[in-house]
């Protein structure tokens, strides 16, 4: 059996001291990766990662993910190089088109797939110590531009986060991983793998070269009912959106409309009460450790190379959930994680 991975992800809404405390906590356990999000208007990824890096000795760390529309490829490369200089377990780079950019007055670069292609090429050239010179449809950089700082000695793994067919195909050409965000649905994994395979074939790469990563909100507690109730409230915020992205789901659109209406009205409890168990398990990791182990097993069996457990982790406190993941979930998945 091919070794699978388990990672943990954090929202960037914390005090500086909290990032450090979380880094020390996750380093007690054998996570394969530690991720921070890059959602506007939260803290951009690199400052939290810089705070966490000195305290994480085992796992690779990285952002999931950065929209090039928010940060220029030269800046992404520079920040990645500096992070790589202090991250003992290595780094990875996650890129996305970005969601809700217009809400924050950010204009997406056009055409978006071409912008991503060019951004990847510029970042890779820069991190390799080559000229960043580029004359593309989106970016134009002079030939004399090079990284004026030490560059990483090894290639930085690239993750692209997407649900889209075209961007997944681009990832098949260039990336090491594709992240499906906001989902715990095993049925979508082979669909995204087929999207990726188009690009893998285009680039002469074998099918399956690019790993599929899937992750979502996680709430883990020995009190199963409490964990699932909090997860219901958390998922009600994004389920109406993600449900439209997943081509394998058949959910009553009227249900999603009603959930969204309650969310918009600020009534998360009413929204949560509408979400049945079978739908909940397609969007979140929720329950006691045994529940989460079973969910992860289904995802690995469907082809996931890495499962990522996202914020808030615990029903009462993040630390409680993280300890349960480390002490119960990781050992419970040993047959996948140590193969």
CA distances from 9 to 74, 92, 254 (A): 25, 13, 31
CA proximity to 37, closest of 47, 45, 49: 45
- pLDDT value at 176 more than 90: yes
Bridge partners, residue 61, by sequence: 34, 91
Taking the model in full, what pTM does it have? 0.96
- pLDDT value at 20 more than 90: yes
Given a contact cutoff of 8 angstroms between Cβ atoms, the answer to whether 292 and 6 are in contact is no
Confidence band for 1, pLDDT divided at 50, 70 and 90: low
Summarised one tens digit per residue, pLDDT across range 60-73 is 999 999 999 999 99
Q: Kind of pairing, strands 158-161 and 306-314?
A: unpaired
- pLDDT value at 241 more than 90: no
Summarised one tens digit per residue, pLDDT across range 81-127 is 999 999 999 999 999 998 878 888 999 999 999 999 999 999 999 99
Average pLDDT, rounded, for the chain: 96
CA distances from 144 to 64, 128, 130, 147 (A): 30, 15, 10, 10
**So what's the pLDDT on residue 34?**
98
CA proximity to 181, closest of 337, 310, 10: 310
Stretch 20-32: mean pLDDT: 98
DSSP label at 91?
A: B
What's the rounded Cα separation, in Å, for the pair 1 and 20? 35
**So what's the pLDDT on residue 104?**
85
């Amino acid at each position: 059996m091919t070794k699978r991975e388990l990672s943990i992800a954090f929202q960037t809404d914390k005090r500086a001291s909290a990032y450090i405390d979380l880094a020390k906590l996750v380093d007690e356990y054998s996570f394969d990766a530690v991720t921070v999000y890059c959602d506007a208007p939260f803290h951009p990824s690199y400052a939290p990662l810089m705070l966490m890096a000195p305290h994480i000795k085992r796992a690779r760390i990285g952002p999931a993910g950065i929209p090039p529309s928010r940060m220029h490829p030269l800046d992404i490369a520079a920040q990645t190089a500096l992070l790589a200089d202090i991250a003992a377990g290595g780094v990875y780079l996650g890129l996305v088109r970005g969601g809700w950019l217009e809400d924050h007055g950010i204009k997406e670069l056009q055409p978006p797939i071409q912008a991503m292609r060019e951004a990847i090429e510029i970042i890779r050239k820069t991190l390799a110590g080559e000229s960043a010179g580029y004359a593309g449809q989106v970016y134009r950089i002079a030939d004399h531009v090079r990284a004026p700082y030490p560059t990483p000695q090894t290639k930085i793994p690239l993750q692209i986060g997407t649900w889209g067919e075209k961007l997944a195909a681009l990832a098949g050409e260039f990336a090491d991983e594709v992240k499906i965000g906001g989902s715990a649905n095993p049925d979508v994994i082979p669909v995204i793998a087929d999207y990726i395979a188009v690009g893998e074939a285009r680039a002469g790469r074998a099918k399956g070269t690019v790993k599929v990563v899937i992750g979502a909100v996680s709430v883990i507690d020995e009190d199963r009912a409490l964990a699932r109730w909090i997860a219901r409230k958390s998922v009600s915020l994004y389920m109406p959106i993600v449900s439209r992205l997943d081509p394998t789901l058949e959910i009553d659109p009227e249900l999603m409309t009603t959930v969204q209406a309650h969310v918009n009205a600020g009534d998360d409890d009413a929204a949560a009460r509408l979400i049945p168990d079978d739908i909940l398990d397609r969007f979140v990791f929720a329950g006691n450790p045994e529940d989460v182990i079973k969910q992860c097993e289904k995802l690995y069996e469907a082809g996931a190379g890495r499962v990522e457990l996202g914020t808030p982790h615990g029903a009462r406190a993040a630390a409680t959930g993280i300890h349960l993941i480390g002490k119960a979930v990781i050992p419970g998945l040993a047959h996948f994680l140590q193969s």
